[in-house]
Amino acid sequence: MADLSVKYMGLDLSNPLIVSSSSLTGTVDKVKLCEDSGAGAVVLKSLFEEQIESEAEQIDDESWPYPHPEAFDYMRQMGMRLGQDEYLKLIEGAVQALSIPVIASLNCVSPRWWNSYAEKLAGAGADGIELNISIMPRDYNQRAAEIEKVVIKIVESISKRVNLPIAVKIGPYFTSLPNLAVGLRRVGAEALVLFNRFYQFDIDIDKVELAPGYRFSSSQEIHLPLRWIAILYNQAGCDLSASTGVHDGFGVVKQLLAGAAAVQICSTLFINGLEQIGKMIEEVRAGWKSITSIQLPTSKGS
Ligand SMILES: Cc1cc2nc3c(=O)[nH]c(=O)nc-3n(C[C@H](O)[C@H](O)[C@H](O)COP(=O)(O)O)c2cc1C
């Protein structure tokens, strides 16, 4: 049988399928089920920066650099709330219970909270950290370059403090992704996760109020990350992990052919159940020959 093992952000994975951060990875029992279903690694549910803020009771609209109320809705409607200590317990429990890599996830919108906490993640035994950085530009005074600077600053300040591999999960809305990718790699990113899929808003026209949009991606959404994995593969100089729109094993094969080191899945597991992981692995196995038969140019960065 084909050996599907890959290396991703310095970690050894038995196969390239990673269960991405969501409520599917929010308890030890749930991540254990992911492992038992065949996942190569798991990214734990994110701890949100706003959660730290509210725990510290220091929410101050004036000093809040990048208002991100979306995260509150995201937490309330899509995810689950975890406090800092609970999160460390989740990591410890998951690392104890699982033999596959366990990647902790922090949602960041500014560099100010995470430095010392990130060290605690390492202490709790996480194999890596994924920084889910989502800064929503809502003010016309904010320049694109300033936002990119904040993204880089967050990664730089955490990578200086923590001796763990760091992956950075970003959204697709950047003007020059290759330039940002190289900047992130230079300050310590070992991998980029392309892309986060933001909380979808809708409007209920009967109640005339905001409503949550459909939570899950469709397989049609694979094309955007596929394009950027292909563009960045030979430039970023770090591993790339595809996220959004991968619903079957053939999608995984496509992303690997484009240059991804690993592939993250979420919506397809909510829709089809965790047994989908096994089915996808079989489909990857079927396509593995085409992956190993091509010689991708060596990944390099400037
Ligand atoms: C219910 C739900 C909760 C999620 N929670 C998180 C989260 O806490 N942190 C995060 O980085 N991404 C979160 N995501 C985004 C997923 O990890 C993933 O990036 C996104 O759904 C796109 O992948 P997919 O097309 O395979 O679903 C969540 C997605 C869903 C559907």
45 lines ligand 1 (CB under 6 A): yes
Q: What angle do CA 23, 238, 7 make, to 5 degrees?
A: 65
Which residue's structure tokens are 């000093």?
63
DSSP letter (8 states) at residue 176: -
Query: Would the pLDDT of 51 be above 70?
Result: no
54 CA → ligand 1 middle, Å = 22
Measured CA to CA, the distance from residue 27 to residue 94 in angstroms comes to 8
Of the candidates 168, 267, 261, the one whose C-alpha atom is nearest the C-alpha of residue 216 is 267
Residue 68 makes CB contacts below 8 A (sequence gap 6+) with 49, 50, 109, 134, 135, 136
Task: Place 149 in a pLDDT band, splitting at 50, 70 and 90.
Answer: very high
Residue 100 makes CB contacts below 8 A (sequence gap 6+) with 13, 14, 35, 39, 40, 41, 42
23 lines ligand 1 (CB under 6 A): yes
Query: Would the pLDDT of 299 be above 80?
Result: no
243 CA → ligand 1 middle, Å = 9
pLDDT of residue 2: 81
What are the pLDDT digits (tens) for 265-292? 999 999 999 999 999 999 999 887 777 7
Q: In this predicted structure, which of 79-83, 166-170, 185-189 has the lowest mean pLDDT?
A: 79-83
115 CA → ligand 1 middle, Å = 24
Measured CA to CA, the distance from residue 46 to residue 29 in angstroms comes to 16
212 lines ligand 1 (CB under 6 A): no
pTM: 0.89
302 CA → ligand 1 middle, Å = 31
pLDDT, mean over the chain: 87
Mutate which of 18, 42, 135, 197 to test ligand 1's pocket (most atoms within 8 Å of Cβ)? 197
DSSP letter (8 states) at residue 247: -
Given the CA of residue 20, which atom of ligand 1 is nearest to it? 17
80 CA → ligand 1 middle, Å = 12
Using DSSP's 3-state secondary structure scheme, residue 233 falls into helix
What are the pLDDT digits (tens) for 174-209? 999 999 999 999 999 999 999 999 878 889 999 998
265 lines ligand 1 (CB under 6 A): yes
Question: What's phi and psi for 259, nearest 5 deg?
Answer: 130, 5
Given the CA of residue 130, which atom of ligand 1 is nearest to it? 11
Q: In this structure, are residues 78 and 199 in contact, taking their beta carbons and an 8 Å threshold?
A: yes
30 lines ligand 1 (CB under 6 A): no
CA distances from 230 to 17, 88, 166, 183, 268 (A): 18, 36, 21, 18, 23
Q: In this structure, are residues 114 and 160 in contact, taking their beta carbons and an 8 Å threshold?
A: no
Query: Would the pLDDT of 75 be above 80?
Result: no
Using DSSP's 3-state secondary structure scheme, residue 171 falls into coil
134 lines ligand 1 (CB under 6 A): no
What are the pLDDT digits (tens) for 212-265? 888 899 999 999 999 999 999 999 999 999 999 999 999 999 999 999 999 999
For residue 31, how many C-alpha atoms fall within 13 Å in the half-sphere facing its CB?
A: 29
Q: What percent of the chain is modeled with pLDDT above 90?
A: 69
Nearest CA to ligand 1 atom 27: 267
Question: What's phi and psi for 8, nearest 5 deg?
Answer: -135, 125
Task: Place 78 in a pLDDT band, splitting at 50, 70 and 90.
Answer: very low
Given the CA of residue 267, which atom of ligand 1 is nearest to it? 27
Residue 295 makes CB contacts below 8 A (sequence gap 6+) with none
Mutate which of 18, 20, 45 to test ligand 1's pocket (most atoms within 8 Å of Cβ)? 20
51 lines ligand 1 (CB under 6 A): no
